[in-house]
Chains A and B, each alone.
Chain A
Amino acid sequence: MANDNQPANTPTIDLGAAVRDAVIASLVMLGLAIPILALKTEQNMDNRLVLEPRWHYVWIACALVFAVRLALTLFIWNRKAKITVAKGEQTPTIMSGLVRVLKPFSGRAGLLFLVAYPLLALWLVGPQGSIKWIDNFGIQILIYIMLGWGLNIVVGLAGLLDLGYVAFYAVGAYSYAIIATQVIPATFPELGVWSFWICLPIAGLLAALWGVLLGFPVLRLRGDYLAIVTLAFGEIIRLVLINWVAFSNGYAGISGIPRPSFFGIPFNASEEGFAAVFGLEFSPIYRTIFLFYVILALALLTAFVTVKLRRLPVGRAWEALREDEIACRSLGINTTNTKLTAFSIGAMFGGFAGAFFAARQGFISPESFVFIESAQILAIVVLGGMGSLFGVVISSIALVGGIEILRELDFLKQIFGPHFDPAQFRMLIFGTAMVVMMLWKPRGLVSTREPSVFLKERKSISGSLVKEGHG
């Protein structure tokens, strides 16, 4: 009779089964770990490989898997029944909390913070310390935000999975580098100080042209095939840059790329330099701050264009295309033009970012444009929630900024020993984040969509409904 008092949706805990399950999981871990984790291959003095056993790691890994699996079975998966009952209500998590806290910053406040950021950094840590904060954090993150927003047009809005986006980044960077180091000095050397501002639109246009060129043949493909072909195109462009030495100088790359000038005033210590003209003491910080504002302006331009385009017929056609290509065609949308515009506009912003990258580094080589870079930008778009501008910002800060912070954490060295280098875990974290994100929230962090066109009242739609035709 006592059993009748129990609520129906409390499952009984079968400890024996849970333990058995956890033992199986740890045995699988043992099988996975046996050769790869247990024995490390090292080259000895004679350059011969020897094996270094490290069985203790295997036992730690197996114990961890056992404990985690047991805890999950007993405490988390056990409650599944209750959660399904309360379907529809969003369960609060750390991430959704973070999104909620940061949400007010997506508007004017965030913009104000970004504009004030270099001055804030300057004021807080002084000119010496602030270069690191403005350059490594500010500019680096903004480049990725801009690339993410550019790719977002292709992946997030038009739903075309592009694994070769870095190709357009490379086209932009090489256009600027080659025009500024070869073409302008040979034809109009007096325009040298203006070269960045002349080349920026050219780099964007060339990248857009390449977007159309590469977009044309792949229009008939969709989904997975499209992704693989764009990957192939990205790799072809990189391999050509490596091998066509006369054009791109191969692996050695192009150096001595002119830096951008402040509307014709260069940032150097000379009489005509920025510091001298404005009567300031010379310091490299001015250029860094200037570069920060340039990339901020470029990124905001990308966001502005994206927001505006979403309301235009072409933007609505992109989103319709993402949802259902066949329905789109039936409604008379020209899918060829729709896809090509998405490809070329996305590519153009990639080209702008590439030109900026070349100008900031002063040196480029094919090493900067590998597939992993494309995957990183894609990870940023996917984690942010495809189609969400604000999501891209959060995931860029989390992934790029988080990894920069990892470098700064010296105390980790004291825990894990002096050879511990957190930066080597960077790509591992990226990969894991992509998998975990797909499992946990396939729609990304910000998965609600604001409708671009609405009747009377603006309702936001949960992203999980969008793909199923409710949006």
Chain B
Amino acid sequence: MEVFVQQLVNGLTLGSIYGLIAIGYTMVFGIIGMVNFAHGDVFMVGSFIALILFMVATMFLGLPTVAALIVVLVLAMALTGLWNWTIERVAYRPLRGSFRLAPLISAIGMSILLSNLIQILQGPRNKPLPPMLPGSIHIMGEDALATAISYKQIVIMVVTVVLLAVFWWVVQKTPLGRAQRAVEQDAKMAALLGINVDKTISITFVMGAALAAVAGVMYLMYYGVVNFSDGFVPGVKAFTAAVLGGIGSLPGAVLGGLLIGLIETMWSAYFTIDYKDVAAFSILAITLIFLPSGILGRPDVEKV
């Protein structure tokens, strides 16, 4: 029981991070029908930006950890958003209307480019930070079976819930969100009705990147280490989450993220940790083959 509760807490934390990244995939897929292969690497760039800003904030400006984290969160969201805006502008926008696989291939190139750019600019080694926000709340059990939820985990879950509420409100209730949903349904019609389609798509990319940056800050805070190659595997897992939840659906992305996080931690706890990535990749393949519209997604109607 204690082990189960502990894994539940860990799984939900990890799942929150995956869910935040998955939203970026699901929003972009919803609006332009493209798998943004580079999104995992945008997440990695976000955590590198957070790492450097955090070091500037604590070492040069002498801010306390909590204040530094808040400043870093806001700045990292803005700067990662700028990165994704530029990427969309340079690598994807000119390909709108090109043949089907062109944007995907361009995104794969962008993914390779980003991870290698960071490798060259910041070096290939792991970047460790001293642990931050130590301490935890004891829930149940004693000694070896003691189950606790750490402050970091609480912060991650609270931030995820708050941001999701904010983004849900933006997409459902604001003119911007209405424009996004209109473009998602029919870009040509939306343009005829006076919606700036290019701008709406750009903002979608910025929003996705901002959430990926939040995930990057959380990842950095939780694990205390980043590496230039950290984008690929979390990226694929978050994509799995988006597909599992139903691609195009925002709540689906979060649900999928939490499920993937739980499956991964439970698998590591009860089976073998060696095959946890195999489990994630298998879920991806099985979902795409047998349940391509996901849990909360709408079935894909094929028009001739």
Contact = CB atoms under 8 A, between A and B. Distances in A.
Contacts of A242: 274
Interface stretch (A77-85, A178-186, A227-235): A227-235
A433 B289 CA distance: 32
Interface in A157-172: 161, 163
Contacts of B109: 379, 430-435, 437-438
A371 B106 CA distance: 16
B239 to A, nearest CB: 7
B133 interface: no
A382 B105 contact: yes
A7 interface: no
B52 A217 contact: no
Interface in B54-112: 55-56, 59, 79, 82-83, 86, 90-91, 94-95, 98-106, 108-112
A92 B236 CA distance: 41
A41 B127 contact: yes
Among B49, B104, B112, residue most surrounded by chain A Cβ atoms (within 10 Å): B112
Nearest to A242: B274
B141 interface: no
Among A221, A239, A379, A437, residue most surrounded by chain B Cβ atoms (within 10 Å): A239
Contact of A228 (B52, B94, B288): B288
Interface stretch (A32-40, A111-119, A451-459): A32-40
Nearest to B94: A439
Contacts of B56: 35, 39, 51
B284 interface: yes
A36 B98 contact: no
Nearest to B106: A438
Interface in B258-287: 274-275, 277-278, 281-282, 284-285
Interface in A237-263: 239-240, 242-243
B276 to A, nearest CB: 9
Nearest to A34: B79
B292 A225 contact: yes
A24 to B, nearest CB: 12
A439 B110 CA distance: 12
A236 B278 contact: yes
A431 B49 CA distance: 21
Given A40-B121, A217-B289, A243 B35 contact: no
A439 B86 contact: no
Nearest to A30: B82
B292 A36 contact: no
Interface in A17-49: 28, 31-32, 34-37, 39-43, 47-49
A239 B123 contact: no
A362 interface: no
Nearest to A225: B288
Contacts of B117: 428
Interface string B107-136: 011111111111111110101111000000
Given A235-B277, A372-B112, A40 B289 contact: no
Q: Which of under 10, 10 to 19, 20 to 34, or 35 or more describes the interface residues of A?
A: 35 or more
Interface string B41-57: 00001001101110110
A42 B129 contact: no
Q: Which of under 10, 10 to 19, 20 to 34, or 35 or more describes the interface residues of B?
A: 35 or more
A103 interface: no
A224 B52 contact: no
Contacts of A43: 125
B112 A41 contact: no
B232 interface: yes
Nearest to B33: A224
B277 to A, nearest CB: 6
A294 interface: no
A41 B94 contact: no
A232 B83 contact: no
A39 to B, nearest CB: 5
Given A228-B284, A430-B112, A431-B113, A326 B304 contact: yes
B67 to A, nearest CB: 18
A313 interface: no
B34 interface: yes
B89 to A, nearest CB: 9
Contacts of A221: 288-289, 292
Contact of A40 (B35, B49, B123, B288): B123
A66 B304 CA distance: 46
Among B83, B117, B121, residue most surrounded by chain A Cβ atoms (within 10 Å): B121
Nearest to A376: B112
A158 to B, nearest CB: 12
A223 B101 contact: yes
A442 B123 contact: no
A32 B83 contact: yes
A442 B98 contact: yes
Given A232-B236, A434-B108, A435-B109, A32 B82 contact: yes
Contacts of A326: 302, 304
Nearest to B283: A232
Contact of A434 (B48, B51, B106): B106
Contacts of A225: 288, 292
A28 B86 contact: yes
B294 to A, nearest CB: 12
16 contacts: A28-B86, A32-B86, A41-B123, A161-B101, A223-B101, A223-B104, A229-B288, A233-B285, A235-B277, A239-B278, A379-B109, A427-B116, A428-B120, A431-B111, A439-B95, A467-B99
Given A220-B292, A233-B281, A442-B98, 8 more contacts: A41-B122, A41-B123, A41-B127, A48-B130, A223-B104, A228-B239, A427-B112, A434-B109
Interface of A: 28, 31-32, 34-37, 39-43, 47-49, 51, 161, 163, 217-218, 220-221, 223-225, 227-229, 231-233, 235-236, 239-240, 242-243, 326, 371-372, 375, 378-379, 382, 424-425, 427-428, 430-435, 437-439, 442, 467
Q: What are the 10 closest A-B residue pairs judged by CB atoms, nearest first? A: A434-B109, A431-B113, A431-B112, A435-B109, A438-B106, A35-B52, A428-B116, A232-B281, A243-B274, A224-B35
